[in-house]
Amino acid sequence: MAVPKKKMSKSRRNSRKSNWKKKVLKKVLFALSLGKSFEANTNVNFSFGDKLPQ
């Protein structure tokens, strides 16, 4: 199992957490806007990829 060898400082921990949260926030906002556009039946430039869900 992977175990950290030394204690991580609070500033480094907080910095990494904030970077992770920024990435997640970007994905969440994209998903919400996409969902709203589907709900409103507006045209969206979005593709599902090769296979469509059935």
Is the entire prediction scored with pTM above 0.85? no
Tell me the Ramachandran region of residue 29: left when phi exceeds 0, alpha when psi lies from -120 to 50, beta otherwise.
alpha
pLDDT digits (tens, 9 = 90+) for 4-36: 788 889 999 999 999 999 999 999 998 898 888
pLDDT score for 37? 80
Q: Could you tell me if 44 and 31 are in contact, meaning their C-beta atoms sit under 8 angstroms apart?
A: no
DSSP-based helix, strand, coil % in the chain, nearest 5 = 55, 0, 45
> Which tops the pLDDT comparison, 37 or 26?
26
Higher pLDDT, 1 or 36: 36
